[in-house]
Amino acid sequence: MTSMSRRQLMIAATGIAAVAASPRIVFTQAAASVPTGPFKVEPLAYPVGALEPHIDALTMEIHHDRHHQAYVTNLNNLAYEHPQIAAKPIAEILGNLDNVPEAIRTGVRNNLGGHANHTMFWQIMGPGGGKPEGEVLAAIDRDLGGMEKLQSEFNANGLKLFGSGWTFVTVAKGGRLALETRPNQDSPMMDGKHALLGNDVWEHAYYLNYQNRRADYLKAWWNILNWKAIEERYVAAKAGTLGL
Ligand code: MN
């Protein structure tokens, strides 16, 4: 055969398409039985557009409903075979990754870390968030040299991060604050601390609106912090009762 008619080509192409599509059908059927717990993505406490113009609604929707959900879906798949990863507080699992079976250790580190980081992230943001006050402001002044210094160093840290990761203010036992960055979805809980607040500098967090302008995103982000929630986190961390 030296040439194919148009019809033969179409039949051949259809055959290829059918072969290519069949694994998808299998996947879709399997997806119906994918475990939906024990880990869950909590709904946002505000509408997806509430942080505009600093973070646009579509970025929030994709970030929360798809990226965060993907970490949680991966976790639930891991927990299906290894229920022990859901049987202890998240801080305890992340703080003792050596106790997690080696076969799933990286998966737990990435996906449980991602779940913890994002749960914090949604919680510390909100519309009309005010200014730091009370105990948390006193700690910022004491440990980080005040708000202006904190913002400038925190943003510089976020800008310097090569690739994906987070810039954090961490809180240690006893309430001491520090500025830190972590790659990928690593969590301060891996070192027995908590994130007081943190900004996600993975490109998925800002690319639709800011493209390569990470510095602009870092600067704008301070407009949408919920300082009441951050102060509550600080008080809970000091008391040893902060979950995520
Ligand atoms: Mn993210």
- Cβ-based neighbour number of residue 136 at 10 Å: 25
Tens digits of per-residue pLDDT, 151-162? 999 999 999 999
**Alpha-carbon gap, residue 203 to 205, rounded angstroms:** 5
Q: Where are the beta strands (DSSP E) in the chain?
A: 165-171, 177-183, 194-200
Give 107 Cα–ligand 1 centroid separation in angstroms: 16
For residue 224, report the distance from its CA to the centre of ligand 1, in Å.
16
SS3 at position 88: coil
Whole-number Cα distances in Å, 98 to 48, 49, 84, 242: 37, 40, 14, 23
Distance 1 CA to ligand 1 centre (A): 53
Mean pLDDT value across residues 88-109: 97
Centroid of ligand 1 to alpha carbon of 142 (angstroms) = 30
CA–CA separation, 2 vs 195, rounded Å? 67
**How far does the centroid of ligand 1 lie from the alpha carbon of residue 134, in Å?**
29
User: Residue 97 above 80 pLDDT?
Assistant: yes
Cα–ligand 1 centroid distance for 152 (angstroms): 22
Separation of CA 158 and ligand 1 centre (Å): 14
Per-residue confidence (pLDDT) for residue 33, from 0 to 100: 64
Residue indicated by tokens 């475990």: 35
Measured in angstroms, how far is the CA atom of residue 115 from the centroid of ligand 1? 9
Q: Which of 17-26, 66-75, 229-238 has the lowest mean pLDDT?
A: 17-26
Rg, the chain, Cα only:
22
Distance from the CA of 117 to the center of ligand 1, in angstroms? 8
Q: Which pLDDT score is estimated for 144?
A: 98
Q: What are phi and psi of 181, to 5 degrees?
A: -120, 155
13 C-alpha to ligand 1 centroid (Å): 39
Does the pLDDT value for residue 20 go beyond 80?
Answer: no
Enumerate the β-bridge partners of residue 225.
125
Which helix H or strand E contains 94, and what residues bound it? Answer: helix 90-94
Q: What is the pLDDT of residue 34?
A: 74
In this predicted structure, what is the pLDDT of residue 4? 44
Digit-coded pLDDT (tens) for 37-54: 999 999 999 999 999 999
How many percent of the chain have pLDDT more than 90? 84
| Distance (Å, whole) CA 95 – CA 109 | 10
pLDDT over 90 at 121, yes or no: yes
Calculate mean pLDDT across residues 73-79: 97
Distance 5 CA to ligand 1 centre (A): 50
Query: At residue 218, does pLDDT exceed 70?
Result: yes
CA of 118 to the centre of ligand 1 (A): 6
Confidence at 21, pLDDT banded by 50, 70, 90? very low
| Residue 158 near residue 134 (C-beta atoms within 8 A) | no
Is 12 a residue whose pLDDT tops 80? no
The answer for residues whose C-beta is within 8 angstroms of residue 100's C-beta and 6 or more apart is: 85, 93, 108
Report the alpha-carbon distance of residue 41 to residue 119 in Å, rounded.
8
Cα–Cα distance, 91 to 112 (Å, whole number): 10
**pLDDT at res. 14:** 40
Report the residue count for the chain.
Answer: 244
Cα(203) to ligand 1 centroid in Å equals 8
Report d(CA 44, CA 21) in Å as an integer.
35
Task: Identify which has the larger pLDDT, 225 or 2.
Answer: 225
Q: Three-class SS string for 2-22?
A: CCCCHHHHHHHHHHHHHHHHH
- pLDDT of residue 75 exceeding 90, the answer is yes
Cα 218 to middle of ligand 1, angstroms:
14
- Ligand 1 centroid distance, CA of 9 (Å): 44
Cα–Cα distance, 26 to 37 (Å, whole number): 22
Ligand 1 center to residue 7 CA distance, Å? 47
Please give the pLDDT value at position 131. 95
Measured in angstroms, how far is the CA atom of residue 27 from the centroid of ligand 1? 25
In this prediction, residue 132 has a pLDDT band, given cuts at 50, 70 and 90, of very high
With beta carbons less than 8 A apart as the criterion, state whether 162 and 183 touch: no
Half-sphere exposure in the Cβ direction for 198 (13 Å, CA): 33
The stretch 109-132 carries a mean pLDDT of 96
